[in-house]
């Protein structure tokens, strides 16, 4: 079981309605903390909760050291993954905690403008953020200007370089970044981009300090994290869990299938993990040893009755349709991978040739995209070929597994928008 007297943290006070500014300040009273915010972030060991898990203090230092009078703080609450609901849950519970963190970070880097980005396709969350910004403006407090932006929802729109590109040109296109960390710019001013959950944790560390934050989690992965749990579950949910909790305890707490065939970790650009590894701690270090990752805090559970190849094909097909299509690996490689998976899942005259071609294409595509979108798809597919090896063997022998003929699916996939434009090779 997941048990900690100091949980929930970022979801403290969540009751289905967002806390007002007054309620927020009553729930999170300020305490005295030693040192600067950057020092506290370094001591806390906070890493980004958007997927990359980059140390937050290093991102802050990088932008703080830039000489510019026009710096920007960007809150990324786009949440492009269909299986992700944590930003929506957080901003529907306490948008002020996210805004607290954004203001702390803006002060640390010397930014005069804060852009909060929420997909326009989620008007309820847009309204919650608008209301929170209005509440703060009525207080007449001095500080950075808070501005709400509502780009259109797309998978790639949440990638930080694509988001900054939209803020500059209203186009959600990821930018080529061979070296990281890379300084992103808005109107030639350096921009710090952090996701909503990261900002909420900064808000807590800014109030309570590093030692308080480290009271949960492990030495290498301190703190708590939000997990979007879906799939073989009574009802999709968002949990706040201490890092280091076992996968099994998270599934039990969320009411998911306690004995699944596999769990998708890290989102659609993540990796499948066999149900044999449910006692693995939920940290990047432990999952990384198995080729998996915490990523964007997504767990999708599929039961033993499902076909892992079919579910993987559904993801790959959608990911191919959601790419920016500005480079060969995305425009041609991802549709080709999806077609190979379709042939393996639903029948082929020469499945061995298809499998060999799929493996070869993964090797050719990996590392060659303008962004990391193709790498996520190849990682997902390679993990599927390993975790669902038994299903794969059945399909190769012309005897598809029981789940391949089922009409029930467990991975949430939106309708394809540009299906007629897809190119198959």
Mind listing the pLDDT tens digit for each residue in 348-403?
889 999 999 999 999 999 888 777 889 999 999 999 999 999 989 888 888 777 66
Q: Which two tokens stand for residue 135?
A: 């509440």
User: Do 157 and 163 contact (CB within 8 A), yes or no?
Assistant: yes
* 3-class secondary structure, 209: coil
DSSP 8-state symbol, 120 = T
Count Cβ atoms below 10 Å from residue 103 Cβ, excluding itself.
22
* Res 424 pLDDT > 60: no
- What domains, with CATH codes, occur in the chain? 21-213 (3.40.50.11540), 224-302 (3.10.20.600), 308-421 (1.20.1440.230)
Provide the β-strand partners of residue 73. 114, 192
Q: What are phi and psi of 415, to 5 degrees?
A: -65, 145
Rounded-to-integer distance, Cα 126 and Cα 116, Å = 10
Distance of CA 40 to the CA centre of its chain: 24
Q: Which two tokens stand for residue 363?
A: 């090797």
Q: Which two tokens stand for residue 279?
A: 């006692």
* 3-class secondary structure, 233: strand
The H or E element that residue 262 is part of is strand 262-265
E-assigned strand segments in 70-196: 72-77, 113-118, 145-149, 184-186, 189-195
Rounded-to-integer distance, Cα 214 and Cα 350, Å = 54
Average pLDDT, the chain: 89
User: Do 280 and 217 contact (CB within 8 A), yes or no?
Assistant: no
Rounded-to-integer distance, Cα 161 and Cα 170, Å = 12
Higher pLDDT, 1 or 231: 231
Give this prediction's pTM: 0.91
Rounded-to-integer distance, Cα 193 and Cα 162, Å = 11
* Res 198 pLDDT > 70: yes
């Amino acid at each position: 079981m997941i048990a900690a007297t100091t949980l929930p943290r970022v979801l403290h006070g969540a009751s289905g309605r967002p806390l007002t500014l007054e309620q927020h300040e009553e729930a999170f009273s300020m305490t005295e903390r030693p040192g600067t915010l950057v020092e506290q972030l370094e001591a806390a060991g906070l890493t980004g909760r958007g997927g990359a898990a980059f140390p937050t203090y290093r991102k802050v230092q990088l932008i703080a050291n830039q000489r510019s009078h026009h710096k920007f703080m960007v809150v990324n609450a786009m949440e492009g993954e269909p299986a992700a609901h944590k930003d929506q849950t957080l901003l529907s519970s306490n948008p002020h905690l996210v805004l607290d963190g954004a203001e702390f970070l803006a002060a640390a880097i010397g930014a005069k403008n804060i852009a909060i980005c929420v997909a326009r396709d989620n008007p309820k969350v847009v309204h919650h953020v608008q209301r929170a910004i209005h509440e703060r403006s009525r207080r007449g407090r001095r500080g950075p200007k808070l501005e709400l932006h509502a780009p259109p929802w797309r998978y790639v729109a949440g990638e930080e370089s694509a988001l900054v590109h939209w803020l500059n040109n209203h186009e959600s296109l990821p930018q080529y970044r061979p070296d990281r960390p890379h300084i992103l710019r808005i109107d030639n001013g350096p921009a710090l981009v952090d996701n909503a959950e990261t900002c909420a944790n900064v808000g807590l560390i800014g109030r309570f300090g590093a030692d308080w934050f480290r009271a949960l989690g492990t030495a290498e992965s301190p703190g708590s994290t939000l997990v979007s749990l879906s799939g073989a579950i009574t009802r999709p949910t968002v949990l706040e869990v201490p890092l280091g909790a076992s996968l099994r305890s998270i599934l039990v707490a969320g009411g998911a299938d306690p004995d699944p065939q596999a769990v998708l970790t890290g989102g659609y650009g993540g990796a499948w993990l066999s149900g044999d590894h449910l006692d693995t701690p939920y940290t990047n270090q432990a999952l990384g040893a198995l080729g998996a990752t915490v990523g964007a805090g997504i767990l999708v559970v599929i039961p033993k009755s499902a076909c892992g190849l079919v579910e993987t094909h559904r993801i790959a097909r959608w990911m191919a349709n959601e790419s920016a299509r500005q480079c060969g690996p995305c425009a041609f490689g991802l549709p080709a991978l999806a077609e190979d998976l379709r042939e393996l899942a639903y029948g082929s005259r020469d499945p061995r040739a298809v499998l060999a071609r799929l493996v070869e294409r993964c090797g050719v595509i990996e590392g060659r995209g303008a962004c990391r979108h193709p790498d996520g798809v190849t990682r997902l597919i390679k993990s599927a070929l390993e975790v669902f090896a038994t299903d794969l063997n059945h399909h190769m022998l012309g005897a598809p597994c029981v789940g391949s003929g089922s009409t029930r699916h467990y991975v949430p996939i939106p309708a394809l928008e540009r299906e007629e434009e897809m190119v198959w090779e």
